[in-house]
Structure 1
Amino acid sequence: MCAMRAMRAMRALRAMQCGGVRSFSSRPPKSPYLQQRPPPPGPPPAPTNSAAPAPPPPAPAAAAASPAATPAAMATPAATAQTAPQRYGPLEVNLKPKDQLRPLLPTWNPPPTRRPEPQELEVSTRLRFLFEERWWAATVREAYDTEVRVGFDGWPSRHDQILPRNSERLYLHECHHPDYEAPPVPQRFQRPQPVDSEGNPVVRTKPRPKVYDPEKERMKRALRPPMPFNPEKERLKRLLRNQVSE
């Protein structure tokens, strides 16, 4: 083992002396295709000519004393965007009564309906539920005297919430709007109905019953596997035979 380590050290030393291989501590060369980081913003470089530019005129005292010249008002839009919380979701989508693409998805905008009355909240009433600053499609699953159990559409029951009937987080679903149009039925569920030459729907006839064939039924019973022995059934058969014989 020691001899092998000595041989490796000798080979590395010869390679370093020849200049063919770099030392193990050196890093590989950087790729020329990497993008360099832009230089940090700093003061503009000084002009090379001898003629120095004239200094800018001093700001008037009135402008310096005005409250608009505060650091918060002079903040750049980029700094304001960084401090504002980042939102994820369709910010520009406005829920409308005829919107057929978002009947179940949450939205940042309130629905175009009103708050439901306490007596209107019944089982299966569709709602829009305000949760984490978004309006979720929900349904009343259970109704009590002063509270209701609201469940999110498409989510399991472990996410249900119990709220009072006069809660401000409940709005009627857009399906309760008079201008609402239900989304079309998916094409995979649409079955064309046959019609005749005049356009009337054709009533399909009921299937005819099969003709009873005693020979075929006898063959079916003969090919069936034998049933296991049932003593109670055999006892009833014997009683029936005795009654018939009497």
Structure 2
Amino acid sequence: MTMDELDRAVTQCRACPRLVAWREEVATVKRAAFRDQEYWGRPVPGFGDPHARIAIIGLAPAAHGANRTGRMFTGDRSGDFLYAALYAVGLASQPTSVSLDDGLELHGVRITAPVKCAPPANKPTPVERDTCRPWLSRELELLRPTLRSVVVLGAFGWQAAMPVLERFWSVGRPRFGHGVEYAVPAVDGGAGLRLLGCYHVSQQNTFTGRLTQPMLQEVLKRAAE
């Protein structure tokens, strides 16, 4: 399976009844500001370089962001914050991301999430997280030859990513925190990994100043080294 084939398969998944019902309800009811737009309303695959050296792992698509546009962190305030930082450190071709066809390209980066469907209240259940795990596992398997750094946004993504990462790297039990960094040796004879934690780019963090642009850019710079 190629990355393109994996992405197409992801968009057809209907494994979690609660998530299927929610994502499709949101796509039908819509937010007033987007009433004239056709929502994606399906699982959202990863986005970016299929041979990336850096992976950024979030939480799940936003109901009126990626669930509307069909691309991770696209069309909402969290995405605005993330892509502005990626552009500032030279990892994106433009500082904004509004739609699938806006011309944005990532340089050596792939953005993904452990849960591919928008969850109610932005909170997937542990069962939904585990059911979705094979998609992330296969994605990182395809990235394995080139992947050298992983940035995980938030504690939920951190917990969800560890069982997947340990297929290839001896991650142990690293504690999440903003700015933490671990040099992780491989278990499969391949290259090691630099694992970094970062507060999630949610509005709760960015609007309150818990996460600032300099803080995020510093983590991304270290991942790119």
Relative to the length of structure 2, the TM-score reads 0.19
Relative to the length of structure 1, the TM-score reads 0.18
* Structure ranking higher on relative contact order (CA contacts 8 Å, 6+ apart): 2
Q: Higher helix share goes to which structure?
A: 2
- Compare CA radii of gyration and give the structure with the larger one: 1
